Amino acid sequence: MENHSVNVRRLVDEFRSRSGDTRVDSGGMRRVWESLLRQVQSDAEAHLDLAAVLQQQLSRPTLEASFHRKLQSRKVFTHREAYEQVVTKTEEKLQRARVDYKRAYAALLTTDGGSEQELKRAYFEAHNAYVLQLRATNAITERYQSRCLPGLLGEIAEVYEELCGLACKCVAGISKAAAERAGEQTKRYQAVAKEAQVIAPLNDLQILARSLLATATPSKKPSRRLFVAPGPPEQVPMERISQIPSLRDEIVPTGTSTLPLMEDLRREQDSLAQEITRLQDALDTLIRMQRKSAESNLYTKVAELQEDISMKRFELGEAQLYLAAVQA
């Protein structure tokens, strides 16, 4: 959580440095973006505070309170293994006593009579050892099953009960702390959402235009090329120059060749007007197709149509330039 907070704050600083490079310091979009960065930075700080709360007030106290139970649980399993070893060794002693008992009985049955008294005494001793070991084995097994094992299970239940309470208390504390910060976060982002919903792009453009006008030179109309009559070559007599009519910025009738020129211009004007109408219709169709594709979330198609739309807009502007030239 601490690493997440550090990474988020680093991203906020990077985006803030990028947006700080812009020349325009006002505008609704800029203010909303800065508000969003502030809220994200607040989230990073909240994550850092939450991490400190979890570490100091929940995690560390829980670990300290449950440490002895961790040791206890380990001892329980160790003691169970030790008890089972005792039971196993007792069973092994019982098996050996049983073997000795059977051996002594078989030796007594197969004696010739010379050493019968000694074999009978050994038989009785093996019998007593077997009976004692049998009673000891049964007592140990019964004690283990009725007292030791339930006692171990009781310790496990005690450990689980306390650890369950500590864990649930920790989870509840985490959830409560996170819920409080989530409520604050919701209020902050709702305010940003309301601020973003009232932003008018036209207002921002007007602010940008005023800012550019304040720093730019006064605008002038596009410079027009003036009509410049050709100058006479050097060493041409003035009498000859006066014989050539002086012309101005206007069409000079040339007889029959003037009418075809005007007709060609009219036909070119009509052709350009039709071409402009066709391009405008095609552009409107592409825009409608793009809008429908965007509504259907077909953004790949939207990008493809944007290429065609940009080209059609250029062709339309180019045709209008040529039309302006013909109309002039």
Q: Cα–Cα distances in Å, from 261 out to 258, 264, 324?
A: 5, 5, 17
* pLDDT tens string 46-81: 777 777 777 777 777 777 877 887 888 888 888 889
Q: In the structure encoding, which two tokens stand for residue 222, read together? A: 């596009």
Same domain membership, residue 320 and residue 173: no
Same domain membership, residue 178 and residue 40: yes
Burial class (CB in 10 A: 0-12, 13-18, 19+), 305: buried
Q: Is residue 223 part of a domain?
A: no
Q: Is residue 248 part of a domain?
A: no
Q: Is residue 141 part of a domain?
A: yes
Same domain membership, residue 266 and residue 193: no
Domain boundary among 153, 169, 199: 199
Helix (H) or strand (E) segment spanning residue 6? helix 2-19
* pLDDT tens string 116-170: 888 888 889 999 989 998 999 999 889 888 888 888 888 888 888 888 888 788 7
Question: Bigger pLDDT: 260 or 269?
Answer: 269
Give yes or no for a contact between 137 and 88, defined as CB atoms under 8 angstroms apart.
no
Residue 272 has pLDDT above 60, yes or no: yes
Same domain membership, residue 136 and residue 52: yes
Q: Is residue 229 part of a domain?
A: no
Residue 278: predicted pLDDT: 92
* pLDDT tens string 205-223: 787 777 777 665 655 666 6
> Quick one: average pLDDT of 284-304?
89
Same domain membership, residue 169 and residue 68: yes
Host domain of residue 131: 1-199
Q: Is residue 32 part of a domain?
A: yes
Q: Is residue 310 part of a domain?
A: yes
How many angstroms separate the CA atoms of 39 and 32, rounded? 11
Domain boundary among 199, 217, 248: 199
Output the pTM of the full model.
0.48
Q: Which residues contact 17 (CB under 8 A, 6 or more apart)?
A: none
Using DSSP, state whether 234 is helix, strand or coil.
coil
Instruction: Categorize the per-residue pLDDT at 281 as very low, low, confident or very high, splitting at 50, 70 and 90.
Output: very high
Same domain membership, residue 124 and residue 270: no
Work out how many domains the chain is built from and give that number. Answer: 2
Q: Is residue 14 part of a domain?
A: yes
Q: Which residues contact 31 (CB under 8 A, 6 or more apart)?
A: 195
**Amino acid occupying residue 212:** L
Domain boundary among 199, 225, 241: 199
